[in-house]
Amino acid sequence: MSENRGERGVAVIVPVLRRPHRVAPFLTSLAAATPEPHTVHFVATAGDSEMIAEIVRLAEDDPGIVLHLLAPAKVGDYARKVNHVYRLTSAPFLFTGADDLHFHPGWLDAALSVMAAKPEIGVVGTQDLAPTDRSRNGQHSTHFVVRRAYVDQFGTIDEPGKMMHEGYPHEFVDDEFVATAKARGAWSFCHEAVVEHLHPSWGKAPRDQLYNAQRARMEAGRRVFQRRRGLWAPSR
């Protein structure tokens, strides 16, 4: 159930699962802070009825919202949903989002300005305001503006035609994405591109079942990351 109703400059990819209450705030924040042409691609899981109904309701009067449905998956749900939209769209830029984000004015213009100034940059990390050293100093980001040509040329570190590796339960897929872009000399971070992550670990949202499962996913994701890191950072 996917439909591309008018491709726009940036494809905003939003994998979602069991948080229908976050759809409207996400769209309100994005619209208020993003005057640039964009299309929002929600990727939901078949059977997630409340989430699907909310997206359908809000999309009725907004041609800039596209709903995609995928069958349930035990592993790689986030990456799989991102890859799905990458394959079906043609916008020159993509943003890897989530429903727990709050966009600050000027975020997209700032990120695209980095790419305009440096054609070799394919991935621009946004500032999520997390109280961690690597976010504050620009060494890492959880959400990115990505040049489609970068993905078209390279894919993941070992998979042409994919934007993200689907072997991660969820966490650490961003670590591989950043590390790979750095190894290729295609990474930059933009402090002015503020996309705030409303995560309960930082007191910005209540915990729910998905957040509570994070610790177990982290351990599984870390093992995948350690197993694959030699692909972009071979030991000498």
For residue 44, what are the contacts with CB-CB under 8 A and spacing of at least 6? 16, 17, 51, 52, 55, 67, 68, 69, 70
pLDDT digits (tens, 9 = 90+) for 130-186: 887 787 889 999 999 999 999 999 999 999 999 999 999 888 999 999 999 999 999
Is 215's pLDDT higher than 80? no
- Phi and psi at residue 218, to the nearest 5°: -60, -45
Shortest CA distance to 107 belongs to which of 131, 129, 89? 129
- Joined together, the tokens standing for residue 103 give 């966009």
pLDDT value at residue 196: 96
Domains in the chain with CATH codes: 10-231 (3.90.550.10)
For residue 32, what are the contacts with CB-CB under 8 A and spacing of at least 6? 103, 105
Is 5's pLDDT higher than 80? no
pLDDT digits (tens, 9 = 90+) for 62-120: 999 999 999 998 788 999 999 999 999 999 999 999 999 999 999 999 999 999 999 99
Q: What angle do CA 207, 163, 160 make, to 5 degrees?
A: 150
